[in-house]
Each structure stands twice: as structure tokens, then as C-alpha cells.
Structure 1
Amino acid sequence: MLNKTQIKVRGYHLDLFQHVNNARYLEFIEEGRWAFFDEFFERDDWMQEDFVWPVVNININFKSEANFGDLLEVQTHYTKIGNRSITMKQTIVKLPDNDIVVEADVTYVCFSKAAKSAIPFPDDIRQKVEQSIASLE
């Protein structure tokens, strides 16, 4: 599954150099992840479960700048699942030409609030993630 979320660059996204500030891209990819989860999970009850999804690593490569008024698209999909961790690829492109602005790999873990530690993914979620990865290959 590939989720596509559009964001229009606003004035408050800009820095002194009049292009999108690097910290804003973290917010953009986070918005992309939440939109992905809205589509991936059928209901919001996954937020009520014992487990949560803390981000443990983000690797981000800035390829080109975005400016006021640009229409960006955050493309989000799973790329790898381990026993307790999962990695997403997120790419921000500038529309309509699909010029790559940012590429990021985001890793997070399945974390038990009760146990206060990372736990293996529940089987139903693991299967759904594996199907999502396979659908893009």
C-alpha cells in the first residue's frame, strides 16, 4: 500500500532563506505517516490497544528545496518488518513534476505501554504489513 498526502507550502513553513525549513520536513513526513495509518488501519481502535509506535530512527536526505506555494506530496509505504521494528520509506515530491525534495527512512517499534518495552508485532498486524510490502514489489 502506498499512501499519498498532499501539503501546500505556506508562509509559516519558510525560514530566513525563504524556503521550507528542514525541521518542517519532519512534520510533513509525520503528517504522511498519520494519513497512512488512517488508511492502513480500518478503525481508530489500534490507538486504544496496549501498544504504541514510537519512532526510534529517522534518516532523511534533502534533495532539493521547496518554496512558498509549492504543492508537495508525501508518499509513504512500508519497506521492512522485523520482529519488533518496522521501517517506512517516505518521499516528498514537488508536484506536478514529481521532483524529489526529501527521501526518508523511518524506523519505529511496537511498544507495550504495560510492559514499558518493545514487543513482537501481533500476528494480524504482521500479516497485514507483509501483504502491504508484497503489494509494492
Structure 2
Amino acid sequence: MDRRTTRTSLRVRGYHLDGYGHVNNARYLEFLEEGRWAYFDDRPELSRRLQRGDVAFVAVNINIDYCAAAVAGDDLEIDSRICALGRRSARMAQQIHRQGDGALVSRATITFVLLDVAANRAIPIEDELRDLLAALVIE
């Protein structure tokens, strides 16, 4: 696996399920968020910059394709990578696969902006943060 990608594992639990016995669609947002947190945890230089508190990545658009059902007891892997870096936004691509058979369960693209926390507005992605992100892009 490319060092610019992070793989996160989790097990589907009963509380993730809907009335049909498979993972509720809204739970995938939580699974994907877990993958994004792990992505930043794996990159201390990026995490340190974001933990200063003056800027934050904020999701502004999420597109999810549901490809196969996941059920209680399934072990899932979430692969996360930065797939595009623009002047004012970045995109992360994520895929969820079932361990064992490798079935693609879901794929998503999340668009982020960089938020100036004090001003509460989006700002350009520049300087040190841009350099850190640019080195991570896998198109």
C-alpha cells in the first residue's frame, strides 16, 4: 500500500444496523469519519499544524456510493487518501472493503475547505499546509 494512504479497520456491531439487518446508510458517514481521523493521526506533521487551532478542515460536500451490504460481524477496511488539491479546497477519496472477500462496500469523495477559525470563513490553502498536502496527493 502507498504510504500516502491510510487503512483503518473496524468491526460492524449490532448498533450499526438498521431494521433490515445491514449497516444503516448514515453509519457509513461515521465509518468514513473514523478513516479521516486515522489519516490525520498517521501524519503528525499535518496533525500538529491543524491542532494549533487557528485553521480547520471542514467537509463541505460528501458523495457516497453504496455498493454492497455490510452486516454484523463483518470486518471492514477503510482506505483514505487525498486525491485532489485546489487553491481553496481539497478532496479525499475513501473506499470501504470487507475483509475476507475484499468486496467493495462503499466509496466516497469528501470535499474540504480550510476554515479560518477566528474569522469563521474559508481561506486559500497556502504555504506550509499546501506543501504538506501536495506531497500526499494521489490522483
- 2:33 counterpart of 1:30: yes
Structure 2 unpaired stretches of 5+: none
Say which of 80, 85, 93 aligns to 1:76. Answer: 80
1:39 to 24, 27, 42: 42
- TM, length-normalised to structure 1: 0.92
Q: Secondary structure at the match of 2:42?
A: helix
Specify the alignment match of 2:61 in structure 1.
Answer: 57
Q: Secondary structure at the match of 1:24?
A: helix
Deviation (angstroms), 1:54: 1.1
Secondary structure at the aligned position of 2:30 is classed as helix
**Residues 79-98 of structure 1 aligned to structure 2 (within 5 Å):** 79-98=83-102
- Paired residue for 2:105? 101
Q: Deviations over 1:58-101 (max 9, x none)?
A: 00000000011000001000000111211000000000222100
How large is the Cα RMSD of the aligned pairs? Answer: 1.4
Structure 1, gaps ≥5 residues long = none
Tell me by how many angstroms 1:41 deviates: 3.0
Alpha-carbon distance in 1 for matches of 2:56, 2:133: 16
The alignment status of 1:120 with 2:105, answered yes or no, reads no
CA distance in 2, matches of 1:128, 1:52: 14
Q: Percent identity?
A: 42
Secondary structure at the counterpart of residue 105 of structure 2: strand
AA aligned to 1:52 is: A
Tell me how far 1:45 sits from its aligned partner. 5.3
Q: Which moved more, 1:123-132 or 1:23-32?
A: 123-132
Aligned length: 135
Question: Which range is displaced more, 66-75 or 112-121?
Answer: 112-121
Secondary structure, in 3 states, of the residue corresponding to 1:110?
strand
- SS of aligned partner of 1:20: coil
TM-score (norm 2): 0.91
Letter of the 2:18 partner, please give it.
Answer: D
**Alpha-carbon offset, residue 115 of structure 1:** 2.0
